[in-house]
């Protein structure tokens, strides 16, 4: 008579881990940077966050500096290039695109502190370089929208700088002194957009 045995359950068997990509690490680094600033980008805490080993990190990156570079490149792609591409596809009218861009950027900045953290870390050479690239790309794109609306090149550039500095200042205050600025108030944003779109004013600078 054969002895009946219950099928044995595999103890401690876990589903295989997802193989992490360099983008997974870069995204985790951006999340940590948004939460705790540049000091939050550390290998061991990120490995714990991802449920990975340090070996997984070193498979993709030589060191922490390489991860910071990848995270900054990821930020440039997600927060600038993809946003511009989406706006171009969604809204053909440059004035409406400008308004939509300001609304989306202001709402995002109020909810997510990442860009404020990056500005605070501008003494780091790679962060400073990334901020310079992104700022120039965004201002250039805004200037292009103003040029499409009929402003001469120099004036379009000035308007682009004004629009961008308005956004950056709003983002900084939204986190440093939120009671001082409207939280993506449609009337406020409409006023900003209207002011930016008015005809060229006279300069009294001599």
Q: For 114-152, what is each residue's pLDDT tens digit?
A: 999 999 999 999 999 999 999 999 999 999 999 999 999
Considering the chain, what percentage of its residues have pLDDT values greater than 90?
68
- The CA angle 80-89-85, to the nearest 5 degrees, is 20
Among residues 41, 72, 103, which one ends one of the domains? 72
Q: At a CB cut-off of 8 Å and minimum separation 6, what does 196 contact?
A: 98, 146, 159, 162, 163, 166
Verify that 52 and 114 share a domain, yes or no.
Answer: no
Provide the pLDDT confidence category of residue 200 given band limits of 50, 70 and 90: low
Verify that 96 and 191 share a domain, yes or no.
Answer: yes
Verify that 99 and 68 share a domain, yes or no.
Answer: no
Q: Write b or e for each residue in 1-37: b if 16 or more Cβ atoms lie within 10 A of its Cβ, otherwise e.
A: eeeeeeeeeeeeeeeeeeebeeebbbbbbbbbbbeee
Average pLDDT, the chain: 87
Domain count, the chain: 2
191 assigned to some structural domain = yes
- Distance from C-alpha of 20 to C-alpha of 99, rounded to nearest angstrom: 38
Verify that 63 and 156 share a domain, yes or no.
Answer: no
30 assigned to some structural domain = yes
pLDDT in tens, 178-192: 888 776 678 888 888
Question: What is the predicted pLDDT for the residue at 176?
Answer: 87
Is the pLDDT reported for residue 102 higher than 70? Answer: yes
Verify that 119 and 186 share a domain, yes or no.
Answer: yes
Lowest-confidence segment of 85-99, 102-116, 123-137, 188-202 by average pLDDT: 188-202
Question: What is the predicted pLDDT for the residue at 14?
Answer: 43
Among residues 43, 72, 101, which one ends one of the domains? 72
Verify that 193 and 97 share a domain, yes or no.
Answer: yes
130 assigned to some structural domain = yes
Verify that 95 and 168 share a domain, yes or no.
Answer: yes
Question: What is the predicted pLDDT for the residue at 45?
Answer: 95
CA 38, chain centre distance (Å): 14
86 assigned to some structural domain = no
Question: What is the predicted pLDDT for the residue at 111?
Answer: 82
Verify that 111 and 40 share a domain, yes or no.
Answer: no
Question: What is the predicted pLDDT for the residue at 184?
Answer: 64
Q: At a CB cut-off of 8 Å and minimum separation 6, what does 122 contact?
A: 128, 131
107 assigned to some structural domain = yes
Verify that 57 and 103 share a domain, yes or no.
Answer: no
182 assigned to some structural domain = yes
- Distance from C-alpha of 26 to C-alpha of 23, rounded to nearest angstrom: 5
Pick the closest to residue 150 from 201, 94, 104, 103 (CA basis): 94
Question: What is the predicted pLDDT for the residue at 95?
Answer: 94
Verify that 111 and 146 share a domain, yes or no.
Answer: yes
Both structure tokens of 52: 């990975």
Question: Domain limits at 45?
Answer: 20-72
Both structure tokens of 96: 């409406």
């Amino acid at each position: 008579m054969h002895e009946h045995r219950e099928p044995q359950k595999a103890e401690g068997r876990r589903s295989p881990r997802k193989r992490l990509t360099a983008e997974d690490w870069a995204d985790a680094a951006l999340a940590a940077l948004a939460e705790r600033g540049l000091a939050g980008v550390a290998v061991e805490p990120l490995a714990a966050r991802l449920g990975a080993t340090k070996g997984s990190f070193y498979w993709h990156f030589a060191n922490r500096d390489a991860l910071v570079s990848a995270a900054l490149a990821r930020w440039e792609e997600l927060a600038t290039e993809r946003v511009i591409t989406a706006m171009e596809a969604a809204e053909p009218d440059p004035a409406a695109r400008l308004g939509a861009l300001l609304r989306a950027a202001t709402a995002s900045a109020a909810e997510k502190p990442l860009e404020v953290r990056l500005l605070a870390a501008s003494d780091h050479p790679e962060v400073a370089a990334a901020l310079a690239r992104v700022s120039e790309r965004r201002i250039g794109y805004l200037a292009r929208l103003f040029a499409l609306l009929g402003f001469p090149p120099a004036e379009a550039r000035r308007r682009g700088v004004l629009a961008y500095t308005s956004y950056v200042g709003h983002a900084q205050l939204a986190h440093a002194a939120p009671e001082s600025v409207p939280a993506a108030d449609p009337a406020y944003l409409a006023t900003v957009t209207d002011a930016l779109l008015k005809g060229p004013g006279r300069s009294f600078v001599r």
